[in-house]
Amino acid sequence: MDRVLADDLSRLPELLQSARDFAAREVSGLDTRPVAHLGKAPDAEPLPAGGVGAEGALARFAERWAPGFSASAGPRYLGFVTGGATPAALTGDWLTGAYDQNATGRGDSSATALEHETLGWLRELFGLSEAHTGAFVTGATVSNTVGLALAREWLGERLGVSVSEAGTAALGPVDVLSGSPHSSIPKALSVLGIGRDRLRTVPVLPGGREAVDVARLAEALDELDGRPAVVVANAGTVNTVDFDDLRAIAGLKERYDFWLHVDAAFGGFAALSPEHAQLTDGIDAADSVCVDLHKWLNVPYDAAVQFTRHRDLQVRVFHNASSYLGLPTGEPDFVHLTPENSRRLRALPTWFSLAAYGREGHQEIVERNVALARHLGDRITDAPGLRLLAPVRLNVVCFTLDGDPTQERVHSLGRAVAESGEAFMTPTFYEGTHALRAAFSNWRTTEADTDRVADALERAVSSL
C-alpha cells in the first residue's frame, strides 16, 4: 500500500474527526459568511505526483477553495430554488459515503430495501397512491427525463412499435403539449431524441397566470385527430409558482389519448401544507411524476424522485439484462429502473430527514418558507423603487424595479445585493419584464433573515 495511504488508514478515526471539526465550523459560519462569492476562482494546479494525505488535502482545500464557496446551504441564499441540508439529512449524506453501498440490487445488502421504504414514505407525503412506484435519481431534470422516456415507450405501444428496441425513428413525430414548461423539459426531449421543437406551448390563463388554459389544451388535443400525445403539466412554475389544474387535465383523458407527466419539482411540497394542498389535487392520476428532494426537502445535492404508474414500461426502457435472460419479473432491482447502473444510496439522507423530523417537521419548513415569502412580498410592496410583478402564490417572490426596469438596472440590483454578502437572488424575465426572484426553500431561514434581505434590497435600490 502507498505509504501515505497506509498512514491515513491507520489514522482514519482522527481524520474523520478533523473533517467533522472543519465541517462544523463551516456550517455554523453559514449565517455570517458572504452569501455569494463573486471573486475569481483559484487557477488550476497540475496533478500532484505524490500526495499530502487526507489532512494535507483538507488544509489545501481550506486555503485554496473553501473561501470561494458560497453560502448556498444557508438561510439567505434565495437564488433558483435551493434548499440546504437539515442536520439529519447531512448525517445521512455522510453515512452514504461512509457505507458506500451500491444500491443497484438486493443480493448482498438491505440498502435497496431502505430505498423502497423511503420511496413509500415519499409517496405518502406527496399524496400518491400505491399504484405509483418510483426510484431515486440525481435531480428533477433526470426525473423529468425518465418520465418522458416512459411516455415515449407508451406512445410506441399505442402505435404498435417498441421504441426501446426499434428506436425513436420508428415513432415518427411526437406531440408534447405544456403551458409553462421548465427548461429541463426541452432538454429532456433533446436527450430522448424526440426533439426540442416537438414541444408546443399551449396558452396559459389570462390575468398574469402561468397555469395552462385547460380549454385551450383540450382544443390542441382535439386537433391531433386521435393521435396519442404527451402532456406535461406543471405543479409549481419557477417565476410565480403557479399550478396547472391537474384534476381538470387528468379529466381530459376520458376524451383524449395522452400520457400525463407532472413536473412537481418543488410545487409537490404544497401537499404538505393543509392551506395549499389542494394545489396538487389530481396528481395521483398522472402517469409519471417528478419531485425534487434537494430543493424543498432540504437534503444535499443530488437527489430527486420519479414516480410512475407504469413500471412495466420502465423496465422495458431501462432494463439491464441480456436478452436471453428476458425481462426481470416481480419487483425489479433498481438497475432495471434507472439511467444508472451502479448508483449511490441516494435515499439515505432523505430517510434520515424524514425519520428525524417526520411529516410535521417538514410541513413546518414549508409553511414557514411560504410565510417568509409573503413577508418579503409585503416589504417589497412597501419599499420605494420596487414593485411586485406577481402575487406571492407560494414560496417565490418575483419583483422588479419601479420606473425603468431595464435588464442592466435589474441585473445591477441583483449584483449589488450579492456584493453586499447579505443575500443572493437570480434574475428572470417574466411578462416581458426583467425581474429578480427570491425563492424560499431553506430550512434555516427566519423572519430576521428575511428582514436582512429586504434591508439589503432597499439599500441596493437607493444606491443604483
Ligand X SMILES: *Cc1c(COP(=O)(O)O)cnc(C)c1O
Should residue 210 be labelled a site residue for ligand X when binding is judged by CB under 6 A? no
Of 204 and 456, the one with the shorter C-beta distance to ligand X is: 204
b/e burial code for range 59-71 (CB count within 10 A of at least 16 → b): eeeeeeeeeeebb
Strand, coil or helix: what is 388? strand
Q: How far is the CB of 80 from ligand X (least distance, A)?
A: 7
Should residue 154 be labelled a site residue for ligand X when binding is judged by CB under 6 A? no
Of 386 and 436, the one with the shorter C-beta distance to ligand X is: 436
Should residue 243 be labelled a site residue for ligand X when binding is judged by CB under 6 A? no
Should residue 437 be labelled a site residue for ligand X when binding is judged by CB under 6 A? no
DSSP letters along 32-83, please? TS-S---SPPPPP-PPPSS--HHHHHHHHHHHHTGGG---TTSTTB-SSS--
> Of these, 112, 184, 314, 350, which contacts ligand X (CB under 6 A)?
184
Should residue 189 be labelled a site residue for ligand X when binding is judged by CB under 6 A? no
Q: What is the largest CA-CA distance in the chain?
A: 71
> Of these, 30, 36, 125, 140, which contacts ligand X (CB under 6 A)?
140
Of 306 and 420, the one with the shorter C-beta distance to ligand X is: 306
Should residue 128 be labelled a site residue for ligand X when binding is judged by CB under 6 A? no
Of 182 and 375, the one with the shorter C-beta distance to ligand X is: 182
Q: Exposed, middle or buried, 326 (CB in 10 Å: 0-12/13-18/19+)?
A: exposed
Should residue 265 be labelled a site residue for ligand X when binding is judged by CB under 6 A? yes
Report the C-alpha gap between 413 and 410 in whole angstroms.
5
Should residue 430 be labelled a site residue for ligand X when binding is judged by CB under 6 A? no
Q: How far is the CB of 458 from ligand X (least distance, A)?
A: 28
| C-alpha 150, offset from chain centre | 19
Q: Which alpha helices (DSSP H) does 79-170 contain, by range? A: 87-99, 111-125, 140-159, 163-166
> Of these, 125, 135, 231, 238, which contacts ligand X (CB under 6 A)?
238
> Of these, 77, 258, 259, 266, which contacts ligand X (CB under 6 A)?
266
Binders of ligand X: how many residues, by CB under 6 A? Answer: 14
User: Which of the 8 DSSP states describes residue 212?
Assistant: B
Of 122 and 401, the one with the shorter C-beta distance to ligand X is: 122
Residue 254, strand partner residues: none
Report the C-alpha gap between 190 and 201 in whole angstroms.
16
Report the C-alpha gap between 101 and 114 in whole angstroms.
11
Should residue 36 be labelled a site residue for ligand X when binding is judged by CB under 6 A? no
Output the nine-digit C-alpha cell for 383.
419599499
> Of these, 263, 287, 333, 422, which contacts ligand X (CB under 6 A)?
263
Strand, coil or helix: what is 232? strand
Output the nine-digit C-alpha cell for 252.
381530459
Q: How far is the CB of 326 from ligand X (least distance, A)?
A: 33
> Of these, 175, 287, 292, 340, which contacts ligand X (CB under 6 A)?
292
Should residue 461 be labelled a site residue for ligand X when binding is judged by CB under 6 A? no
Strand, coil or helix: what is 345? coil
Single out the segment in contact with ligand X by CB under 6 A; choices: 116-124, 136-144, 214-222, 321-329.
Answer: 136-144
Count of CB atoms situated within 10 Å of the CB of 136: 28
> Of these, 141, 145, 353, 441, which contacts ligand X (CB under 6 A)?
141
Q: Which alpha helices (DSSP H) does 170-295 contain, by range? A: 184-191, 214-222, 246-251
Pairing of strands 426-430, 433-439: antiparallel
Q: Which of residues 68-107 bind ligand X (CB under 6 A)?
A: 81
Q: Which residues bind ligand X (CB under 6 A)?
A: 81, 139-141, 144, 182, 184, 236, 238, 263, 265-266, 292, 304
